[in-house]
């Protein structure tokens, strides 16, 4: 550390820049007890650059921040958070995206109390952005929700609803929501899922983009299993059965996708969904017939009881 600091002070401008760019990686290799204050002070200077030519330094600072915090220890958050919040204020898209990608890791390190009071407000503010921020934040939102309080969790559901409504041209946002929706749902009570999420889930099942429908359809059985003992579970099953009879072939295909995953909840399939699935093997649309046959194949391959029913 001493040799690095001497080179940082006495080296040329290019040596100083190169040293700063690698400073975060260097700090990560050190034990908390031997990290010199001079290194942390030098690292903090990277967060205040505001010229375009300094963007790479700021990016390296943001990229390495979770590692620096982990190496320094949670107890150093009070000192390092000034750097972290300064990075969020900078108007560099590359830096902001990096911070969004690692926010959940910072929250994991500082744990619930600090994450809830200082990091969740950033998450809830930035997730509204349908641009660069939404996808990386939504991809790891489940971990952040596990650290959130009830009010913050309720706020997140409202923002997901708004994103779904306002991002018709941003299909990757809807795909990310669909891919991770059940992981979000595990942080809520079944009644909340039914009241505030089930309608949105059905909307995503009818999305114009195939990958969104596929992601949502393949996780439907998880919601039924999670809410299976609740009084409204019958309504959820009825809604899913309606997909099998829907006039839109895309919805019938989604029903088949859902059934294809139900080998993991065999009783659910055999009890309620096997007969309509078999009927769809003669559907007028080739894509639906293939999806139904594939679902039966998955069931036969993973379930010993299906042959007895067929």
Contacts of 189 by beta carbon, 8 Å cutoff, 6+ apart = none
When pLDDT is averaged across residues 123-146 and rounded to a whole number, the result is 89
pLDDT at 2 over 50: no
Q: How would residue 55 be classed by pLDDT, with cut points 50, 70 and 90?
A: confident
With vertex at residue 147, the alpha carbon angle to CA 142 and CA 150, rounded to the nearest 5 degrees, is 95
b/e per residue, 113-145, with b = 16+ CB within 10 A? ebbbebbbebbbebbeeeeebbbbbbbbbbbbb
Measure the CA–CA gap between 163 and 161, rounded to whole angstroms: 5
Q: Please check whether residue 225 is in contact with residue 265, taking contact to mean a CB–CB distance below 8 angstroms.
A: yes
In percent, how much of the chain has pLDDT > 90?
47
Token duo for residue 162: 């708004």
Cα-Cα-Cα-Cα dihedral sign, residues 181, 238, 262, 218: negative
Q: How would residue 13 be classed by pLDDT, with cut points 50, 70 and 90?
A: low
DSSP state of 46: G
Higher pLDDT, 60 or 263: 60
The whole-number pLDDT of residue 21 equals 64
CA-to-CA dists, residue 172 to 137, 138, 168, 204, angstroms: 13, 11, 10, 12
pTM, two decimal places: 0.85
Which of these, 208, 198, 298, 287, lies nearest to 242 by C-alpha position?
A: 198
Q: How would residue 239 be classed by pLDDT, with cut points 50, 70 and 90?
A: very high
b/e per residue, 94-106, with b = 16+ CB within 10 A? ebbbbbbbbbbbb
How do residues 70-97 score in pLDDT, each as one tens digit? 888 888 898 889 889 989 988 888 889 9
When pLDDT is averaged across residues 140-161 and rounded to a whole number, the result is 93
Question: Which SS3 state, helix, strand or coil, does residue 283 take?
Answer: coil
The whole-number pLDDT of residue 6 equals 47
Q: How would residue 103 be classed by pLDDT, with cut points 50, 70 and 90?
A: very high
Q: Please check whether residue 253 is in contact with residue 294, taking contact to mean a CB–CB distance below 8 angstroms.
A: no
Q: How would residue 64 be classed by pLDDT, with cut points 50, 70 and 90?
A: confident
How do residues 283-301 score in pLDDT, each as one tens digit? 999 999 999 999 888 877 7
Higher pLDDT, 232 or 55: 232
Residue pointed to by tokens 């300064």: 86
Higher pLDDT, 46 or 67: 67
Measure the CA–CA gap between 196 and 87, rounded to whole angstroms: 34
Contacts of 280 by beta carbon, 8 Å cutoff, 6+ apart = 244, 252, 255, 256, 288, 289, 291, 292
Provide the 10 A C-beta neighbour count for residue 48: 15
The whole-number pLDDT of residue 269 equals 63
pLDDT at 51 over 60: no
Range of lowest pLDDT (10-19, 138-147, 177-186): 10-19
pLDDT at 126 over 60: yes
When pLDDT is averaged across residues 12-38 and rounded to a whole number, the result is 66
- Alpha-helix runs per DSSP H in 167-305: 171-185, 190-192, 198-205, 210-218, 220-226, 233-244, 249-260, 266-268, 274-279, 286-302
**How high does pLDDT run on average in the chain?**
83
Provide the 10 A C-beta neighbour count for residue 295: 26
With vertex at residue 240, the alpha carbon angle to CA 234 and CA 242, rounded to the nearest 5 degrees, is 105
With vertex at residue 242, the alpha carbon angle to CA 239 and CA 245, rounded to the nearest 5 degrees, is 170
First to last CA, the chain: 71
Where is mean pLDDT largest: 27-41, 79-93, 101-115? 101-115
Q: How would residue 216 be classed by pLDDT, with cut points 50, 70 and 90?
A: very high
pLDDT at 40 over 60: yes
Range of lowest pLDDT (143-157, 188-202, 269-283): 269-283
């Amino acid at each position: 550390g001493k040799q690095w600091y001497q080179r940082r002070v006495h080296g040329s401008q290019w040596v100083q820049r190169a040293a700063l760019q690698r400073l975060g990686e260097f700090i990560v290799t050190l034990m908390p007890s031997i990290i010199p204050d001079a290194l942390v002070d030098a690292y903090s200077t990277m967060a205040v650059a505001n010229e375009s030519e300094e963007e790479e330094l700021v990016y390296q600072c943001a990229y390495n921040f979770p590692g620096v915090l982990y190496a320094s220890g949670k107890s150093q958050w009070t000192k390092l958070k000034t750097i972290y919040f300064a990075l969020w204020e900078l108007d560099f898209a590359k830096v902001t995206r990096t911070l969004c990608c690692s926010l959940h890791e910072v929250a994991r390190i500082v744990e619930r109390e600090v994450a809830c009071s200082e990091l969740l407000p950033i998450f809830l503010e930035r997730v509204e952005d349908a641009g660069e921020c939404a996808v990386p934040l939504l991809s790891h939102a489940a971990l952040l929700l596990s650290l959130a309080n009830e009010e913050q969790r309720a706020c997140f559901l409202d923002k997901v609803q708004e994103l779904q409504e306002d991002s018709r041209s941003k299909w990757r946002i809807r795909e990310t929501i669909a891919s991770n929706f059940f992981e979000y749902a595990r942080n809520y009570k079944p009644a909340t899922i039914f009241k505030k999420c089930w309608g949105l889930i059905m909307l995503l099942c009818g999305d114009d983009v195939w990958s969104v429908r596929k992601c949502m359809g393949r996780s439907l059985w998880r919601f039924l299993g999670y809410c299976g003992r609740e009084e409204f579970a019958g309504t959820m099953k009825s809604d899913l059965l309606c997909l099998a009879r829907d006039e839109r072939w895309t919805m019938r295909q989604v029903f088949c996708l859902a059934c294809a995953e139900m080998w993991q909840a065999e009783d659910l399939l055999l009890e309620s969904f096997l007969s309509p699935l078999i009927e769809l093997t003669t559907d007028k649309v080739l894509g639906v017939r293939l999806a139904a046959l594939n679902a039966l194949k998955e069931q036969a391959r993973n379930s010993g009881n299906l042959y007895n029913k067929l």
